[in-house]
Amino acid sequence: MEETQMLKTTLTGGAVVATLVIGLPIGATAQEFTPDQPECIAPAAAGGGWDFTCRQVARVLRETDLIDGTMRVQNLSGGGGGVAYAEVVNKRNDEDDLIVAASTATATRLAQGAFPGNTMDEVRWLGTIGADYGVIGVRPDSEFEDLPGLMTALSEDPTAISIGGGSASGGWDHLKVLMAAQEAGIENLRAIKYVAFAGGGEAISQLLAGSLQAYTGDLSEAMGFVESGDLRVLAVLAPERLEGDFADFPTAREQGLDVVGANWRGFYAPGGMSDAAYDWWVGQLDTMYESEAWQSVMESNGLADLDLQGAEFTDFVSDSISEIETISREIGLIQ
């Protein structure tokens, strides 16, 4: 409940809306379905958050015997998730074996009308597997020592610094930087140079190659580069310092910028998926979430607790889209 409330407060900057979390049990109807060839679409290139979501969930579902055999993972990048969304809606609408990784980035694109002709009601929303805090980072040898230093440089000349992320222009990674810049008092937000990549891994690779001066993404996709010494985190967009391996990362708040950005991670399914298949997937993901194996994944990757399933998750996505639309208008991303 705490993380659900935190995310909604972050998006609105206003009242907290409590969400009742009820796990959907695997009922008799759900037991009538078993996927023959389970598949997960990651709507971005390898190395990003959606790829992480598909591959980690596929592994844990297999290891906990919640699926038979293995789950195929397909990377289908383009349009900030729009290519995958259109593929599912227009070509694979009635498939029962298919799930698709989603996140706040998905809600952002829907909120901004970036999936032409598509709405959230054309798919079925399964559930979350945690929340991933945003990070802003640089190369280890960067001149920028902290987040205020980066914001000062942007205020002096926003065109001199290129910041890359794994979402499309105007997407969630871009939005996190604009929220920080707005909090820092930068008025010309449209002048900030954001470079979109097919996934967070590609953005970090370009940062290391010298094409970018900063990176915006999420903790789970950044941790491998932090551990290898290739990325230095200027700020994690959490309400307070995280614990364990993440305790050394300063928050934006403690640096004087009151910005919190939690990226929920979860799945949607084709809109024409049968009720039996939908109930089965919701139940399996809920069971997986409670397993020791998944709790270990969350702990090692800095995922915060966010467990929403079925109808509760659908309502949550609807609220998120509405709230992000409001923020996007305030910042000037949409009219």
Cα separation, 74 vs 177, whole angstroms: 29
- What stretches of 50-148 adopt beta strand conformation (E)? 72-75, 98-103, 123-138
What is the 8-class DSSP label of residue 270? E
pLDDT for 274: 97
Q: Which helix (H) or strand (E) holds 321?
A: helix 310-331
Look at residues 192, 194, 239, 244 and name the one whose alpha carbon lies nearest to residue 223.
Answer: 244
pLDDT at 26 over 60: no
**What is the Cα gyration radius of the chain?**
19
User: pLDDT tens digit string along 275-296?
Assistant: 999 999 999 999 999 999 999 9
User: pLDDT tens digit string along 152-173?
Assistant: 999 999 889 999 999 888 889 9
Cα separation, 134 vs 46, whole angstroms: 19
Which CATH architecture describes the domain 2-132+262-331? Answer: 3-Layer(aba) Sandwich (3.40)
Q: At the topology level of CATH, where does 134-255 sit? A: D-Maltodextrin-Binding Protein; domain 2 (3.40.190)
User: pLDDT tens digit string along 253-272?
Assistant: 999 999 999 899 999 999 99
User: pLDDT tens digit string along 41-91?
Assistant: 999 999 889 999 999 999 999 999 999 999 999 999 999 899 999 999 999
Cα separation, 286 vs 129, whole angstroms: 8
Question: In which band, very low, low, confident or very high, does the pLDDT at 31 lie, cut at 50, 70 and 90?
Answer: low
Cα separation, 80 vs 263, whole angstroms: 15
- pTM metric for this prediction: 0.79
Residue 275 burial (CB count, 10 A)? 12
Tokens encoding 33 = 């379905």
Q: Same CATH fold, 134-255 and 2-132+262-331?
A: yes
pLDDT at 20 over 60: no
Enumerate the domain spans of the chain: 2-132+262-331, 134-255
What value does the mean pLDDT take over residues 302-318?
95
User: pLDDT tens digit string along 171-181?
Assistant: 899 999 999 99
What value does the mean pLDDT take over residues 309-329?
92
- Range of 16-20, 169-173, 310-314 with top mean pLDDT: 310-314
